[in-house]
Amino acid sequence: MKNIVFVSDLFVDQYAGGAELTTEAIISKAPQNYKVQKINCNELTNSFIDQNKEAHYIICNFSSLDNKIKINICKNVNYSMIEYDYKFCKYRSIEKHLNIENKKCDCALRQENKVNLAFYGYARKIWFMSEKQRQIFLSHVTTIKEEKTEVLSSVFSDGDLRFIDSIKNNPKNDKYLILGSNSWIKGTQKSIQLAELKKIKYEIVSGMPYHELLIKMSTSKGLIFTPLGSDTCPRIVIEAKLLGCDLWINEYVQHREEEWFLNQEDCMSYLKERGNHFWSYYA
C-alpha cells in the first residue's frame, strides 16, 4: 500500500477556498489501495517525517511551513508540489508586489528566499494550475527543471461535476454575478466599476455555501471577474463556463486561452479526467 501525505496550510474543512477545494477533489480520487493522510503545515514535525520517510509527500500551500522542516523534506523524502499561486514572491503575486513596492518582484533573488528555491528545486514533480503560471515560474525560479513540471488545472470532484451538469440548463435572469472578496487579487471593485460603466445589471455574491452559489450562478446571465493580478485557474470562472454563463473576464484569468476551456463540452470532458490524470503519475 502506498502512503501519501498531503501537507497544506489549510484543508477544506478549515477554509473552503479554491485551492482547498481542488486539493480535496484530488484526494477524493485517490486509488483505494493508497493510504492518504492530511497534515497542516504548522503541525508537521521532524518526528512525523522520520516515522513516515517511505511516504510520498504532496506539498500544497506552504506559507506556514517552517524552513527547517522544508530542509528536512528536501534531504530525506520524496515529494511533489501543487502550486496554486506564486509562493516564490512574498506577496504571492508579482503584480501585487509591483503595486505595493512600486518595483518588479525580485523575491527569487533575495537571500531569505533561498530555502524556498531549494524546496522547488528538489521536488520530484510540480503541478501548476495554468500554462501561463508555469511559464512565469520557469522565468523566475531557476532551480526548477521544466521536465519536472506539468499543468494540472483546477480539479473538481465527480459529485460536484454531476451537480453542475444537473443544473446547467436552469432558466437564466438578466443579471451578472460579481464575487465579493476582500482579496486584492480578486478585483471586486474593478468588476463593480466595469459593470456600472457598461450599465450591466449585477449582483454581488459573497460567503454563500458552495452549492448555493452554483445554483445562483446557474440562474444568472453571466459572471464579471476582473482580477488585478494573475489568478492561476479561478474555479468560479470554470463553474460559470460549465453553467453556460456569459463571461466578462480579463487577461489575468490565466487559463482563459487554454484549449480545454474554449467551449463548455470540452471543459467538462477535460475536468472529468484531471483527478485520475494526477494519480496516474504515482501509479
**Please, which residues have CB within 8 angstroms of residue 12's CB and are 6 or more apart in sequence?**
20, 21, 23, 24
Give the cell for residue 160.
Answer: 460536484
Rounded-to-integer distance, Cα 202 and Cα 174, Å:
8
Looking at residue 174, its pLDDT comes to: 98
DSSP 3-state assignment of 247? strand
Upper half-sphere CA count for residue 256 (Cβ side, 13 Å): 14
Block means of pLDDT (10 residues each) for the chain, 283 residues, are 95 95 98 96 97 97 97 97 97 98 95 94 98 98 97 98 98 98 96 98 96 98 98 98 98 98 97 98 95
Cell of 76: 530525506
So what's the pLDDT on residue 263? Answer: 95
Residue labelled with grid coordinates 478585483: 187
- The per-residue pLDDT for 30 is 97
What pLDDT was estimated at residue 1?
A: 80
- The pTM for the full model equals 0.96
Q: Please give the pLDDT value at position 112.
A: 86
Can you give the pLDDT at residue 260? 98
Angle at the Cα of 125 from the Cα atoms of 85 and 141, rounded to 5 degrees: 50
Polymer length of the chain: 283
Q: Which domains does the chain have, with CATH numbers?
A: 2-152 (3.40.50), 158-272 (no CATH)
Measured distance between the N- and C-terminal CA atoms of the chain, rounded to whole angstroms = 11
